Structure 1
Amino acid sequence: MKAVVMAGGEGTRLRPMTASQPKPLLPVVNRPIMEHVLRLLCRHGMTETVVTVEFLAPLIRNYFGDGEDFGVSLTYSAEETPLGTAGSVRKAERELGGDSFLVISGDALTDVDLGEMVRFHKDHGALVTVGLARVPNPLEFGITIVGDDGRVERFLEKPTWGQVFTDTVNTGIYVMEPEVFEHVPPGQVVDWSADVLPELLAKSAPVYGWVGRGYWEDVGTLDSYFNAQVDMLARRIDLPIDGFEVSPGVWIGEGADVDPAAILHGPLYVGDHARVEARAELREHTVVGSNALVKSGAFLHRTVLHSNVYVGRGANLRGCVIGRNTDVMRG
Structure 2
Amino acid sequence: MKALVLAGGSGTRLRPITHTSAKQLVPVANKPVLFYGLEAIAAAGITEIGIVVGDTQAEIEAAVGDGSDLGLQVTYLRQQAPLGLAHAVLIARDYLGEDDFVMYLGDNFIVGGIGDVVGRFTSDRPDAQIMLTQVGDPRQFGVAELDADGRVVGLEEKPAEPKSDLALVGVYLFTPLVHRAVAELKPSWRGELEITDAIQWLIERGHRVESSVISGYWKDTGNVTDMLEVNRLVLESLETRLEGRVDDVSELIGRVVVEPGAVVERSRIVGPAIIGAGARIVDSYVGPFTSIAADCVVDGSEIEYSIVLPRSSISGVSRIEASLIGHDVEVTPAPNTPRAHRLVLGDHSKVQISS
TM more than 0.5? yes
Q: CA shift at 1:321, angstroms?
A: 1.4
Equivalent of residue 233 in structure 2, options 223, 231, 234: 231
Residue 185 of structure 1 is aligned with which of 173, 183, 188?
A: 183
Q: Indicate which of 218, 221, 228 corresponds to 1:219.
A: 221
Relative to structure 1, is the Cα distance of residues 148 and 101 closer, same or farther in structure 2, using a 3 angstrom cutoff? farther
1:263-282 equivalences under 5 Å are 263-277=268-282, 279-282=283-286
Q: In the aligned structure 1, how far is the partner of 2:109 from the partner of 2:333?
A: 34
CA contact 1:146–1:209 (8 Å) conserved in 2: no
Q: Is the 8 A contact 2:89 2:182 kept in 1?
A: no
- Which of 307, 316, 319 aligns to 1:316? It is 319
- State how far apart, in whole Å, the 2-side matches of 1:242 and 1:52 are: 36
In structure 2, do the counterparts of structure 1 residues 303 and 152 end up closer, same or farther at CA, with 3 Å as the change threshold?
same
Counterpart-to-counterpart distance in 2, 1:148 and 1:118: 25
- Matched AA of 2:169: T
| Structure-2 change in CA distance of 1:241 and 1:151 (3 Å) | farther
Asked whether the 8 Å contact 1:250–1:266 carries over to 2, the reply is yes
- Partner residue in 1 for 2:169: 171
The answer on whether the counterparts of 2:8 and 2:55 sit within 8 Å (CA) in structure 1 is yes
Separation in 1, partners of 2:3, 2:140: 26
SS of corresponding position for 1:204:
coil
One-letter amino acid of the counterpart of residue 319, structure 2: N
Asked if 1:248 corresponds to 2:254, the answer is yes
Q: CA deviation at 1:255?
A: 2.4
Counterpart in the other structure of 1:210:
212
Instruction: Name 2:337's counterpart in structure 1.
Output: none
Aligned match of 1:114? 114
Question: C-alpha displacement at 1:313, in angstroms?
Answer: 3.1
Cα 1:133–1:243 change in 2 (3 A) is farther
Amino acid aligned to 1:275: R
Supply the AA of the counterpart residue of 2:254. Answer: P
Looking at structure 1, the residues matched to 114 and 241 of structure 2 have their Cα atoms a distance apart, in angstroms, of 26
Aligned in 2, Cα 1:242/1:309: closer, same or farther, shift over 3 Å? farther
Q: 1:91 to 1:248 in 2, by over 3 A?
A: same
Q: Which runs of 5 or more structure 1 residues have no equivalent in the other structure?
A: none
Q: 1:286 to 1:6 in 2, by over 3 A?
A: same
Task: Work out whether residues 317 and 331 of structure 2, in 8 Å CA contact, stay in contact via their aligned partners in 1.
Answer: no
Q: Look up the SS of the partner of 2:10 in the other structure.
A: coil
1:288 aligns with 2:292: yes
Secondary structure of the residue aligned to 1:198 is: helix
Q: CA deviation at 1:268?
A: 1.4
Paired residues, number? 321
**Separation (CA, whole Å) in 1 of partners of 2:211 and 2:260:** 41
- Is the radius of gyration larger for structure 1 or structure 2? 2
Q: Is the 8 A contact 1:315 1:329 kept in 2?
A: no
Aligned twin of 1:305? 308
Superposed counterparts of 1:98-109, under 5 Å = 98-109=98-109
Q: 2:82 matched to which residue of 1?
A: 82
Between stretches 9-18 and 118-127, larger displacement belongs to 118-127
Which runs of 5 or more residues in structure 2 are unaligned? 187-191, 244-251, 335-355
SS for the counterpart of 2:120 is: helix
Instruction: Give the direction of change, closer, same or farther, for the CA distance of 1:56–1:187 in structure 2 (3 Å limit).
Output: farther
Cα deviation code 1:34-66 (max 9, x no counterpart): 011111111111221110011321111121110
Q: Are the equivalent residues in 2 in contact too, given 1:3–1:46 (CA < 8 A)? A: yes
Change (3 A) 1:314 1:15: closer
Distance 2:120 2:147 in 1: 15
Decide whether the 8 Å contact of 1:269 with 1:287 is kept in 2.
yes
Identity %: 28
Give 2:199's aligned residue: 197
How far residue 165 of structure 1 moved from its aligned partner, in angstroms, is 5.0
* 1:64 counterpart residue number: 64
